[in-house]
Amino acid sequence: MLFCIGRCIHQLATLKEVAKLAKVDSSVVSRVVNNDPALNIKPETRKRILDAVEELKYRPNMSARNLKKGQSKMLGMIIPDFSNPVYSLIIHGAEDQAAQEGFNLLVYSLKQKGLEKSYSPLLDGQIEGLLIANSEIDNKEILELKKTKKPFMLVNRTVAGVDNYVVANDLLGAKLATKHLIKQGHHRIAHISGPLFTATGLSRFQGYREGLQEDNIDYIPVYVQESKYTVENGYESMEILLDLPDPPTAVFASNIMICLGAMKAIQDRGLTIPKDMSIIGVHDVFFTSTLQPPLTTVKMPLYEMGREAVKKLIAIIQGKEGETGQGVTIDGASLIVRSSTSPPPSK
């Protein structure tokens, strides 16, 4: 049963074999392979070594290297769900940056919340740092993690007292959305917010409020519905808004999942978007332009967020930041106007 393992992984040339072929010591090969700057090698010898490396198709054994150096070159990332397109983009950015810096990214989806165990087996040696892009993980657990001094990074979320985080400018994004609606002539603008214990939910709510404020539009509390970031919850929240005696003429959804649900609720009532109701959502993902009608969105720099988070995490791992990074806000929220928003029906 195990007889194959040796064959499968090894059979690759080792340093020693390369050394023998090049007639030098393996330590020299190691230095050449690693481009040791403090190495003064005869060009001829170097060539001989490089040729041997080429001939034997030598590739360093990572386990050995990692063992020796006490590293693993692996990063972990926790997301709530692989099918969530918001996270797809973050992962993509994280992946690219990790690869660029020679790290591997292990992505775990955390279905069951409250799984505090999820990171401890991870951090206890396997991986060098952890990206947490998951609003369902309790603040408490993250504070606990912080005590361990292990490198980690919050992505698209924050926790009071933790300043290793990368977020987007949610406030700006939300304000952009709200002001777009106002500019279209809406006054009765609802907001289906995300959970208001999350940074994204809160910032977008704040952006909505500030947007209204700056244009002197009355804030009507009942127009704000707090919702989880799910299609189902978005649907329910929209229904509540539609049942209001004086329903809004436009709605700003805090997230694409919510937005999807809200659109459906509107259309299930036989209402037409944008004639009867304008709608705008946060996150421009691959299918927003194909919805009916094509959705006006706020595009957040999700890919960049993933990249930046990995960059900072690696910096922390390598001690470049005194182990404690600074919170980073990635700008670049932009409005993408399509057909789900229009002026309100004239009275």
Partner DNA sequence: CTGTTAGCGCTTTCAT
Partner DNA sequence: ATGAAAGCGCTAACAG
Binding site for DNA (CB under 7 A): 10, 14-16, 23-28, 30-31, 33-34, 39-42, 45-46, 58, 60-61, 64-65, 67-70
Shortest distance, position 272 Cβ to a copy of itself, whole Å: 11
Return the percent helix, strand and coil in the chain, to nearest 5: 45, 15, 40
Residue 69 contacts a copy of itself per CB under 8 A? yes
41 binds, among DNA, a copy of itself, none (CB under 5 to 8 A by kind): DNA
260 contact choice in a copy of itself, DNA, none (CB below 5 to 8 Å, kind-dependent): a copy of itself
Question: Residue 5 or 160: which CB sits closer to DNA?
Answer: 5
Whole-angstrom Cα distance, residue 79 to residue 91?
9
In this structure, the dihedral spanned by the alpha carbons of residues 228, 256, 266 and 213, taken in order and rounded to 10 degrees, is 80
Tokens describing residue 160: 């009071």
Partner touching 39 among a copy of itself, DNA, none, CB below 5 to 8 Å by kind:
DNA
113 touches a copy of itself by CB under 8 A:
no
Distance between CA 150 and CA 145 in Å, rounded? Answer: 7
Q: Looking at 90-227, which runs of residues are DSSP E strands? A: 104-109, 129-132, 152-155, 165-168, 189-193, 224-226
Which token pair is 272?
């037409």
**Minimum CB distance to a copy of itself smaller for 210 or for 321:** 321
CA dihedral (262, 267, 269, 273) positive or negative: positive
Q: Does 92 bind a copy of itself (CB under 8 A)?
A: yes
For a copy of itself, give the closer residue by CB, 69 or 347.
69
Closer to a copy of itself by Cβ: residue 145 or 172:
145
The listed partner (DNA, a copy of itself, none) that binds 106, CB under 5 to 8 Å by sort, is a copy of itself
CA-CA distance, 224 to 237, in Å (whole number)? 9
Binding mask 119-148 for a copy of itself (x = CB under 8 A): --x--xxx-x--------------------
**Cα atoms found within 13 Å of the Cα of residue 244, Cβ hemisphere only:** 19
Q: Which residues contact 330 (CB under 8 A, 6 or more apart)?
A: 166, 167, 168, 169, 301, 304, 305, 308
Shortest reach from residue 36's CB to DNA, in Å: 7
Residues 260-279 that bind a copy of itself (CB under 8 A): 260-261, 263-264, 267
- State the binding partner of 3 from DNA, a copy of itself, none, CB within 5 to 8 A by kind: a copy of itself
Question: Using the rule CB under 8 A, is 213 a contact of a copy of itself?
Answer: no
Q: Which entry of a copy of itself, DNA, none binds 328, CB below 5 to 8 A by partner kind?
A: none
CB 150 within 8 A of CB 128: no
Q: CB atoms < 10 A from the CB of 155, how many? A: 30
Which of 23-31, 36-44, 86-94, 184-192 is the region at the interface with a copy of itself (rule: CB under 8 A)?
86-94
First to last CA, the chain: 78
Least separation, in Å, of the C-beta of 328 and DNA?
30
Which of a copy of itself, DNA, none is residue 196 near (CB under 5 to 8 Å by kind)?
none
1 binds a copy of itself (CB under 8 A): yes
Cis upstream peptide for 274 (omega within 30°):
yes
How far is Cα 222 from Cα 225, in angstroms, rounded to an integer? 7
Q: Which of a copy of itself, DNA, none interacts with 281 (beta carbon under 5 to 8 A by kind)?
A: none
Pair type for strands 334-336 and 296-299: antiparallel
Largest CA distance in the chain: 90
Task: Please give the residue ranges that form the binding site for a copy of itself (CB under 8 A).
Answer: 1-6, 8-10, 12, 57, 59-64, 66-67, 69-72, 74, 82-83, 85, 88-89, 91-92, 95, 99, 104-109, 121, 124-126, 128, 150-151, 231, 260-261, 263-264, 267, 285-287, 290-292, 317-320, 323
